Structure formats: C-alpha cells, structure tokens
C-alpha cells in the first residue's frame, strides 16, 4: 500500500529542512575557523573586512572595524588650526634645545607583535602617551620632547582648546624625536590627543597661573 501523498510531501520538506540545517552549520563552522586563522596572522587580517552571510545575517571579523578606523585616520587630512589659536598658546619648533623640558614617549599598550592578541582583536592596536599629564605655568615656555618609539607606526599630536578647537597639530614620525615649545597665555586645562589612535592615546596639559615675581 502506498503512503498518502501528503505524508510524502512532508517527508520531502523535512529532508530539505535538515539539508539546510547541515549546510548552515557547515558554513558557520567554516567562517569561525577562517576568522580565527586570519586573526592569528596579524596585520593583514586586521585590514580586511570579512563578511560572511549566514542564515540571513552577517558575520564580520572582530578586528576589522578598529583597523578600518585607524586606516581612515591615517588617510584623513590634517585638522584645521583655529583662527584664534594664538590667543591661547604660541607653539614653535625647539630643536635647538639640547636638554631639559619634558619627554613624552609613545607607549605601545597592545600591538600585533606582542599582544595581548585578544585585546588587539577586540580594539585594534592600542597606544598611549607617557606621561599623559603635564603641568605648566602661564607665559613660561614649556619644552616638550616627543619620542615616537615605534619603528613602523606614525603618530600625531593635536592640542585642543577649551571648546575642543585645534590649537596646534603636527606629525610624530616613526623612531623620531620632535621638540616643540609651548607658551600658554591663558590658564586652565588643555587636552591633547593622537588623532590616529583614539580614544586611548590622549592626555592633558594643566596651565597654572603665572608664577609670582620675586
């Protein structure tokens, strides 16, 4: 006796459904394996936005977004200096200073060469200024020596005013010393940052009142 047609149709649909489940599971395992291998390979993997469509959704490599943001920051044009920047601070190159001043180094917190790999995969490469806080006196030149300690990473320095306006901006090339003198004309806190590696690479200069005369 033959089975009812309805039952045969149900069996066929069940087989198709099982086939789709097996296919989706296989694709999911494959994408996870490939993403893990790409993360282990370092920089090339972080510069690729890996998208795999599974069951109507997208699976992306976790490190792709931070890398894309850093690449965009590298390619972006330098920020415009505020027209009233001179009212707050005078900035000039000070390479003739042989010693003295404050030395600010670029510190690698989590990078592809040394990890931790989980941190790099989640946030991209993380850097910091060290020290990240400097105290200065109004109308007294503050000499800052910037040491970029990384052989293959460029940084920059943007000094911000009270409203977030850019008062000064310059590049910090790899393995270089860049020396600038800052003479502030107004008291208060001035934030600074590397525009390429945000939000971790930031700091502040606190300008105190002019020193009393003897």
Q: What is the pLDDT of residue 114?
A: 85
Neighbours of 187 (CB within 10 A): 13
Task: Report which secondary-structure segment, H or E, holds 72.
Answer: helix 64-75
Q: Which residues contact 84 (CB under 8 A, 6 or more apart)?
A: 165
pTM of the model: 0.65
- Which residue is listed with tokens 């502030």? 184
DSSP state letter for 85: G
* pLDDT computed for residue 99 by the predictor: 64
Separation CA 154–CA 144 (nearest Å)? 18
Q: Which H helix or E strand runs over 18?
A: helix 5-40
SS3 14: helix
Which pLDDT tens digits describe the chain residue by residue (214 residues)? 444 454 444 444 444 445 555 555 554 565 555 545 545 555 444 443 334 333 333 323 334 455 555 555 555 688 999 999 999 999 999 876 666 689 999 999 998 888 899 999 998 899 999 999 999 999 999 999 999 999 989 999 999 999 999 999 999 999 999 999 999 999 999 999 999 999 999 999 999 999 787 6
């Amino acid at each position: 006796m033959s089975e009812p047609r309805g039952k045969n149709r149900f069996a066929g649909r069940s087989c198709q459904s099982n086939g789709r489940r097996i296919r989706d599971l296989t694709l999911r395992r494959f994408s996870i394996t490939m993403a893990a291998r790409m993360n282990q390979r370092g920089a090339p993997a972080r510069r690729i936005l890996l998208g795999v469509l599974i069951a109507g959704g997208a699976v992306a490599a976790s490190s792709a977004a931070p890398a894309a943001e850093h690449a965009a920051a590298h390619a972006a044009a330098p920020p415009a200096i505020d027209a009233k920047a001179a009212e707050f601070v005078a900035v000039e190159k000070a390479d003739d200073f042989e010693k003295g001043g404050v030395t600010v180094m670029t510190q690698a917190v989590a990078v592809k060469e040394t990890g931790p790999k989980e941190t790099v995969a989640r946030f991209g490469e993380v850097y910091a200024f060290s020290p990240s806080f400097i105290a200065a006196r109004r109308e007294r030149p503050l000499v800052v020596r910037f040491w970029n300690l990384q052989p293959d990473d460029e940084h920059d320095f943007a000094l911000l005013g009270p409203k977030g306006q850019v008062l000064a901006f310059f590049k910090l090339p790899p393995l270089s010393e860049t020396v600038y003198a800052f003479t502030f004309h107004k008291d208060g806190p001035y934030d600074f940052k590397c525009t390429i590696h945000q939000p971790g690479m930031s700091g502040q200069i606190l300008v105190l009142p002019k020193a009393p005369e003897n």
